[in-house]
Structure 1
Amino acid sequence: MAFGIDFGGTGIKGAPVDLDQGDFAAERVRIKTPGKSTPEAIAEVFVELLGQFPDSDGPVGVTVPGVVRHGVVHSAANIDGSWIGTDADRLFTEATGREVHVVNDADAAGLAEVRYGAAAGRQGLVMLTTLGTGIGSALLYDGVLVPNSELGHLEIDGHVAEHRAANSARERDDLSWEKWAGRLTTYYRTLERLFSPDLFLVGGGVSKDFAEFGPLIDIDTEIIPATLLNKAGVVGAALYAAESAGI
């Protein structure tokens, strides 16, 4: 049984995951993210968190809000700059004594949704976008992850997409659902032209309000809300770890 840890700016959440069911195998634990969230400080929290599950001994997956290539973190937009260049797989494996695999947070959510959630059983190109402080993205083709797409950083009409279309932009500019849906239409039409996907999934906390804005997005591709919500990161991280470990 794999273990998933969702590392965020305010909280670190973890639980063992039943990969047959795609759900927590025990109640999730949350620990506040340290003010100085360096990789070394976070490693100490991971040791504490895993210590609360003495019966768990499988591989550990960890989400990181940044680009991750072969276990090395290459960007740190919303976390401590010392993460850049850190071999997080090695650091966390040595700190915890467990096999640890790190994955981008949106990629983890996409894996979970395609295996267990709204896109379970769907073939072709599925694109998850998480609409939050920024826009995270995940591309999966026939269930296989194409990592680190970072499509919130596309430049559209002279603007970085997430600065105009993320949920934080809706709140900042006090946009109605209709006006925000207009910005989202521009964003998703750009993705349509570039990738011709079979399905869009909308994740992030605002996905619970999808009925308010989703039908107003004027695109040709099917677009639906993600369903795993706050479970997606932990479940997807555990799934990533298990597959990386060859389980």
Structure 2
Amino acid sequence: MSRKHDALGIDIGGSGIKGAPVDLDKGCFAEDRLRIATPEEATPEAVCDVVEQVAEHFAVNTDVPLGITLPAVVTHGVVRSAANIDRSWVGLDADALFGQRLGRPVHLVNDADAAGVAERHYGAAKGEKGLVILTTLGTGIGSALLLDGHLVPNSELGHLEIEGHDAESRAAESVREREGLDTARWAERLQTYYSHLESIFWPDLIVVGGGVSKQADTFLPLLDLRTPIVPAKLRNKAGIIGAARLAARGN
């Protein structure tokens, strides 16, 4: 087996399930990514069918670890919440389900946590000491906490209460689109959110991920924070890369 196939990463999203073998030394895909649409009814069995297709496509040895992200809180392989997937996931031992179906070692992880690990080792937070907070601005607000490079899982900082509202219901990218907010008005909401975040955690660095990070130069300069805040570098590759690293190396 080539060293570049250290692990396989699969990122389960609301619209697509994407995967690729990962070279963990370089932090990049070892082959072109495969994407298959997420089933309309994203039940565990239906999603598992697609994950199996993605895994079989790359024909890597079954002893190669497989990391899988979910838009959910995951503790010890058990799914505790569900965002953009069917509610039947809640309470499921997903590690066992995927492991049995795929016949290989499997590690389940929250999608934002996977992105945070990838950015810490290969991206915008590489080598950063102290506390790093990654947030993903998309349908909701995902988050990852990393202390001296170690992941503190399932932080769910998009659900902090801001001015009487769930933070992601006011500041997510989807809210900006739905309410037709211009950049300046959206930045005001982001200012409120990130100011609250830094007043609680006093982080050393904030990394902003999600698809909107590619337009970070239009809104990050409008924020006035004491904490350095930078766009993510790996963007839509981060989930796959981070999941693969966690499966193979544990952090």
Measured against the shorter chain, the TM-score band is over 0.9
Q: Which whole-Å CA distance do the structure 2 matches of 1:151 and 1:6 have between them?
A: 20
Runs of 4+ in 1 over 3 A off after TM superposition: none
Indicate yes or no: 2:133 matched with 1:106.
no
Alignment partners' CA distance in 2, 1:167 and 1:45: 27
Which is worse superposed, 146-155 or 48-57? 48-57
Q: Please name the residue that 2:21 is paired with.
A: 16
Task: Describe how 1:50-129 pairs up with structure 2 within 5 A.
Answer: 50-57=55-62, 58-129=64-135
1:34 CA drift (Å): 1.2
- Equivalent residue, structure 1, for 2:240: 234
Residue 56 (structure 1) shift: 3.9
CA distance in 2, matches of 1:104, 1:217: 27
2: CA distance between counterparts of 1:5 and 1:56? 16
1:161 has 2:158 as partner: no
Partner of 1:217: 223
1:16–1:56 CA contact under 8 A, matched in 2: no
Alignment of 1:178 onto 2:149:
no
Counterpart pick for 1:143 among 132, 137, 149: 149
Aligned to 1:189: 195
**Partner of 2:248: helix, strand, or coil?**
helix
Q: Provide Cα deviations, 1:59-106, integer angstroms capped at 9, x if missing partner.
A: 100000010000000001321000000101111000000100100000
1:243 to partner: Cα distance: 2.0
Deviations 1:142-188 (A, max 9, x none): 11000000000111111110011111111122111111111111001
1:27 aligns with 2:32: yes
Name the amino acid aligned to 1:182: E
Partner secondary structure for residue 134 of structure 2: strand
Q: Following the alignment from structure 1 to structure 2, what is the Cα–Cα distance between the partners of residues 56 and 224?
A: 37
**Does residue 49 in structure 1 map to residue 35 in structure 2?**
no
Q: Distance in 1 between matches of 2:206 and 2:132?
A: 6
Quick one: distance in 2 between partners of 1:55 and 1:9? 26
Q: What RMSD, in angstroms, separates the aligned Cα atoms of the two structures?
A: 1.0
**Deviation string, structure 1 residues 195-219 (Cα, Å, up to 9, x no partner):** 0000000001111111100010111
Correspondence for 1:6: 11
Which amino acid is 1:51 matched to?
A: E
Which segments of 5 or more consecutive residues in structure 1 lack a partner in the other structure? none
- In the aligned structure 2, how far is the partner of 1:132 from the partner of 1:203? 9
Tell me, which stretches of 5 or more residues in structure 2 are unaligned? 1-5
Greater alpha carbon shift after TM alignment, 31-40 vs 226-235: 31-40
Q: Distance in 1 between matches of 2:60 and 2:243?
A: 19
